[in-house]
């Protein structure tokens, strides 16, 4: 089994965030369409947050540092 590389994991999350942005809408309407859009927005936010993190392994524990301060703070 190859060694775990946190930077590679972060890159995969960046790729997932980009894929969600490019995800086409299925041919659904009404409430189902709104649910799909809401889920895509949540997926993008989650993937983008992790994709923007800085990962380290400290004493065998994966630590993700995520700056949640508003831009310019």
- Other residues' Cβ atoms within 10 Å of the Cβ of residue 52: 16
| Phi then psi dihedrals of residue 43, to 5 deg | -60, -45
- Mind giving me the DSSP string for the chain? -PPP-HHHHHHHHHHHHHHHHHPPPPS--HHHHHHHHHHHHHHHHHHHHHHT-EEEEETTEEEEE---SPTT-
Would you say residue 73 has pLDDT above 70? Answer: no
Residue-averaged pLDDT of the chain = 91
Question: In whole angstroms, what is the distance from residue 19 CA to residue 66 CA?
Answer: 21
What pLDDT is recorded for position 1?
66
* Tens-place pLDDT, residues 16-36: 999 999 988 888 888 988 999
What pLDDT is recorded for position 8?
94
Mean pLDDT of 51-68: 94
């Amino acid at each position: 089994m190859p060694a775990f590389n946190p930077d590679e994991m972060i890159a995969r999350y960046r790729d997932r965030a980009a894929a969600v942005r490019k995800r086409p809408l299925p041919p659904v309407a009404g409430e189902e369409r709104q649910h799909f859009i809401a889920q895509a927005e949540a997926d993008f936010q989650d993937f983008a947050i992790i994709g923007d993190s800085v990962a380290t392994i400290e004493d065998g524990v994966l630590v993700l540092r995520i700056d949640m301060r508003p831009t310019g703070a």
